[in-house]
Structure 1
Amino acid sequence: MAAFLLVGGIASSSAQDIDQKNVPAVVKAAFSKAYPKATDADWEKKGANYEVDFDLGKVDHKATYTATGKTVSFEKDIPNAQLPAVIGKNIKAKYPKGRIDDVDWINTAGKITYKIDIEGTPDVNVWYDANGKFIKEVAD
């Protein structure tokens, strides 16, 4: 039982929902300055960083900040049609029975990657760099 509680405590400490009032003021200020029209902000603490899921218009976004308010990464949902053609072609070749369900455009310190959710047999999440190079696959 103690091992179960220890593992559960470790797992829950890696990412936990937090109330906006518990987000450092410098982080909230950086977020408000970058996204003044954001709505529906939900905060999580992931390790030492703060992650916020929010909407701009009708588009889902996510931003991650250090405790000092520096942006670590930014991502947003994009229409499937905005996925670079080379990536779409690679996905069709590698997952011929799969269907692209969701595409996230991710900017981490200026490095652009794409996370694509593929429904098929089996469902997977795949990551590609901006040039269409496969990075990794994770079962969904």
Structure 2
Amino acid sequence: MKNSLLACLALLFSCFVSAQNISSKDVPNIVKSTFLKSYPNQTDVKWEKEKGNYEANFKTGSTERAVLLDTNGNILETEEEISVKKLPAKALAYIEKNYKHKKIKEAAQITDSHGTITFEAQVSSIDLIFDKQGACIKSIAD
């Protein structure tokens, strides 16, 4: 009974965990190789496993960046930290209207493998995703 309860709790907890920090040695060589070809000389990389994919987090100068790769080493998307002021005006207006008195914690520009650009704004514990024009596409609870 005790083991069943622990197994159920572990399963329930795993459903709420979206990303898991992992060691570089646990990242497939093809994934690390593709990353280093695209971003040579990166030495301080933090890896996460996210929904079966691998995310490399690193800094270029003072700018935080992330690259999401699949298990075959294909780059799925890149993310670059941006100033809140660089979010589309329509996105800023949406946040002002729908999240009054809430501060934008971080902002990022995301480019997928097809070159489509979206923007992310973290407000409280919610990630808001906007298209290039600033229309809200979705919200994701952290």
Q: TM-score, normalised by structure 2?
A: 0.80
Aligned to 2:136: 134
Take 2:123 and 2:22, find their aligned partners in 1: how far apart are those partners?
30
Per-residue CA distance 1:61-110 (angstroms, 9 max, x = gap) = 11111111100111111011211222112222222322222101111222
For residue 6 of structure 1, report the CA deviation from its aligned partner.
Answer: 4.4
SS in 2 for 1:40: coil
AA at the equivalent of 1:129:
D
Matched-pair contact (CA < 8 Å) for 1:17–1:44: yes
The 5-angstrom pairing of residues 26-105 of structure 1 reads: 26-105=30-109
1:51/1:27 CA distance change after superposition, 3 Å: same
In structure 1, what is the equivalent of residue 123 of structure 2?
A: 118
Query: Among the aligned pairs, what percent are the same residue?
Result: 31
| TM-score, with length taken from structure 1 | 0.81
How many residues get paired? Answer: 137
Q: CA RMSD in A?
A: 2.4
AA in 1 matched with 2:55:
E
Q: Report the CA distance between 1:45 and its aligned residue.
A: 2.0
Query: Which structure carries more strand by proportion?
Result: 1
> CA, structure 1 residues 16+137, in 2 after alignment: closer, same or farther (shift >3 Å)?
closer
Q: Which amino acid aligns with 1:85?
A: A
Q: Secondary structure at the match of 1:60?
A: strand
Q: Would the alpha carbon gap of residues 16 and 101 (structure 1) be closer, same or farther in structure 2, given more than 3 Å must change?
A: closer
Gaps of 5+ in 1: none
Once the 2 structures are TM-superposed, how far is the Cα of residue 27 of structure 1 from its aligned partner?
1.0
